[in-house]
Amino acid sequence: MFRIRGIVASGGKCSAFLPVWKQLTRLQSRMSTVSHPVAAVCQVTATPDKQANFSTCKRLVEDARERGACMVFLPEGFDYIGSSREETLTLAESLEGDTVSQYTRLARKLKVWLSLGGFHEQGHNWETDRRIYNSHIIINDKGEVVSVYRKSHLFDVEIPERGVFLKESAFTIPGPSLVSPVQTPIGKVGLGICYDLRFPELSLALQTHGAEILTYPSAFTVPTGAAHWEVLLRARAVETQCFVLAAAQVGRHHEKRSSYGHALAVDPWGVVLGDCGGEEPGIVLVEIDQEKVSSTRKNMPVQQHRRDTGFYHTLGKT
């Protein structure tokens, strides 16, 4: 059984870390009276074993669906996290491969929407250059792939004093463009992936095009997560006045890599609604009340106060 860290209504606080059966009982008793759609934000520890990872994610999705979730969010690298460049490339698949097919069947069987937060997709010139995309896939409750966003900003970072050495561009192609927010049962979802979180231009562009919920499935390193994860997620929520849902990897994937965890759900006011913690797989279940988005934007109409695009480029002309 997986730990459920928080079961919350939008605008509420996380429940205490009760035993799982008590939290589930509390949620089930409320589900009969709550009309807001429920999203599940998942936390996993992926390894190079793709079938074991699918088994873990499948159980999380089934558990979330049983508790009333209509959309489930899985993190970057939900399919696997390789221990080397060679292993990462060897395990990559196309969108028509076995991994995505397993998830389309699962979505159709459970009648649930899925956000697959970072799939290792073979690039369009795979046979010649052996490079991949980091792809965020949305599958609807009929088992159809309705959107694919390919990660725009690649994590090429060296922080020697903190033991961070990653160069995503060594085997990954940056995505060519953003994709329009997707209409889902919980609202319009704007897609990002992990390092995209650090670029507010992306979140503002998605909000401008109708996003009510932003999602940043991630595999943050432990040092960068401890320093920046929560503050960045809350900042993106506050500046766009959107819900932010961020599934996460947690713990040790293999001897070379560990992830920070703390899958989060944040409301449009920047309040953390749920946190999976930094130790083990689990889910946060959160009610998405669209009135919270509307009221926040009405009471503080930031977008109406924003100047035209040319205004923000005037510094370059002086």
Q: Coil, helix or strand for 128?
A: helix
Angstrom distance (rounded) from CA 91 to CA 38: 33
Q: Which of 42, 57, 70, 76 is catalytic?
A: 76
173, two tokens: 């192609």
Nearest to 282 by CA among 105, 97, 73: 73
Nearest to 132 by CA among 123, 141, 142: 123
Angstrom distance (rounded) from CA 191 to CA 152: 11
242 is catalytic: no
C-alpha torsion sign, points 83, 84, 87, 91: positive
Q: Which of 42, 57, 121, 151 is catalytic?
A: 151
Whole-Å CA distances, 295 to 65, 214, 237? 29, 17, 14
Whole-Å CA distances, 123 to 48, 95, 100, 126, 130? 20, 10, 15, 5, 7
Which helix (H) or strand (E) segment holds residue 290: the answer is helix 290-299
C-alpha torsion sign, points 28, 33, 36, 37: positive
Sole residue written with tokens 């988005």:
293
106, two tokens: 């699962």
Q: Which of 194, 242, 276, 287 is catalytic?
A: 194
151 is catalytic: yes
> Could you list the active site residues?
76, 151, 194
